[in-house]
Copies of this chain bind each other. A is one copy, B any other.
Amino acid sequence: MPAAAKHNNPRTASRATRRLQLIDATMKCIARKGMSSTTLGDVAREAGLSQGIVNLHFESKDNLLNETLRHLADEYRRRFDKTLSRAGPHPADQLHALMELDFKPSICDRQKLALWFAFWGEVKSRPAYRKICDEFDQYYDEVVEGLCTAIIAEGEYPHVSASAAANALTSMTNGLWLSCLVSPQSWDRREAMDAVMSYLKSVFPKHFNQRGYRANRTQ
């Protein structure tokens, strides 16, 4: 029996596979029914397994939710790092690639966004969520601010604050995500990207010009 088939069989999947399967089911349920009405029964049904299965693999619902958030954050982080490493040596290219990433359909679809917002919605009352989100935000900001600093140095932009620019950029993507979630019919991927680019162009005009996107690629 091939390994793939074997792992789809009941009762034979490895512990890690089952956990992933359950986390996946959890994400689907939260996206569809919302955090406050997904039950462990829903998750088990979505996974095609039995009632008690979550407690067997995660011990408690709280634990399942924590692990789900961690999985979501880790997944994003992997794509973030990969995007960064593939974008070449220029900070402006890297920054642009990161901004594009946030609006790729695989990251920015209502299902995924509903998940992020579901967890953010409970951040205040659940320190565990806050810790995970905070850790990641810290890293994101750090990287973006670093890129802004490099761009400011390259372009000799005297009046631009790297931290203000980084703050503006990261906030903008989160805010545009909210619009996508709340107003999907009037939301448009290109408009969102345009909003971000309009900012980059006006703050770093030497790097992000009007047509195409990069001005001094060969600097």
Contacts and interface: CB of A to CB of B under 8 A. Distances in A.
A203 B199 CA distance: 8
B120 A125 contact: no
Give 5 nearest A-B pairs by CB, closest first. Answer: A121-B121, A171-B175, A34-B125, A36-B36, A174-B175
A68 interface: no
Contacts of A210: 159
Contacts of A182: 120, 123, 130, 133-134, 137
Interface residues of A, number: 58
Q: Which among A138, A161, A183, A186 has the greatest number of chain B C-beta atoms within 10 A?
A: A183
A78 to B, nearest CB: 20
Interface string A106-140: 00001001100111111111100010011001100
A33 interface: yes
A199 B168 contact: yes
Given A34-B125, A120-B178, A171 B183 contact: no
